[in-house]
């Protein structure tokens, strides 16, 4: 997800959304990757704004940083939640 955010968060989102329909067992992991890509995309926009329009950067940087922190926070929340809860695959394998 992080690498996908550097290259193209839109493409990553599209691919993982399609994959989540095909393989529903990994929907949570796909969603976390999409959130991570979105967080990196916000940083990418911040950097490009700084490079090409410093006056705009000084106007919007605080908002983009807040958006980055919120998106990263959601990603980490779901990541830690998935590590503490039993995996769906184990439940399915056991026939529950």
pLDDT reported for residue 73? 92
DSSP single-letter state for residue 95: T
With beta carbons less than 8 A apart as the criterion, state whether 16 and 34 touch: yes
Strand, helix or coil for residue 23 = coil
* pLDDT tens-digit map of 46-85: 999 999 999 999 999 999 999 999 999 998 888 888 776 6
pLDDT reported for residue 53? 96
Strand ranges (E), 12-70? none
Cα torsion for 84, 90, 95, 96, to the nearest 10°?
0
pLDDT reported for residue 86? 57
pLDDT reported for residue 6? 56
pLDDT reported for residue 64? 95
């Amino acid at each position: 997800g992080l690498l996908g955010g550097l290259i193209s968060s839109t493409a990553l989102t599209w691919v993982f959304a399609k994959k989540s329909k095909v393989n529903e067992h990994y929907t949570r992991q796909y969603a976390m990757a999409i959130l991570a890509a979105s967080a990196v995309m916000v940083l990418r926009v911040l950097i490009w704004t700084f490079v090409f329009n410093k006056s705009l950067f000084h106007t919007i940087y605080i908002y983009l940083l807040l958006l980055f922190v919120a998106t990263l926070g959601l990603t980490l929340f779901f990541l830690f939640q998935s590590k503490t809860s039993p995996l769906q695959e184990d439940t399915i394998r056991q026939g529950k």
